Amino acid sequence: MIETMTREPHVSERTCIVTRRRGAPEAMIRFVRGPDGALAPDIAARLPGRGVWVTGRADLVAQAARKHLFARSLKTSVAADPQLADDVDRLLEADCLRMLSLANKAGAVMAGFGKVADALAQGGVGALIEARDGGEDGRRKLAQAARRAESTAPVIGLFASLQLDLALGRTNVIHAALAEGGASTAFIARCRRLAAYRGVCLGGGAASGEDIEASPNGGAREG
CATH of the domain at 33: 3.30.1230.10
Non-local CB neighbours of 166 within 8 Å, separated by 6+ positions: 97
Are the CB atoms for 197 and 88 separated by under 8 Å? yes
Cβ neighbours, 10 Å, residue 83 = 13
List per-block mean pLDDT (blocks of 10 residues) for the chain, which spans 223 residues: 47 90 95 92 92 97 96 92 95 98 96 94 94 92 92 94 97 96 93 95 53 50 35
| Kind of pairing between the strands at 211-212 and 155-156 | parallel
Q: How many domains does the chain have?
A: 2
Domain membership of residue 154 as a residue range: 89-212
Nearest to 193 by CA among 160, 220, 161: 220
For residues 131 and 99, state if they share a domain: yes
pLDDT at 220: 41
CATH of the domain at 108: 3.30.1330.30
pLDDT at 205: 56
| Kind of pairing between the strands at 175-179 and 211-212 | unpaired
Evaluate whether residue 63 is within a structural domain.
yes
pLDDT at 121: 93
Nearest to 20 by CA among 53, 61, 59: 53
Evaluate whether residue 218 is within a structural domain.
no
pLDDT at 8: 45
For residues 105 and 155, state if they share a domain: yes
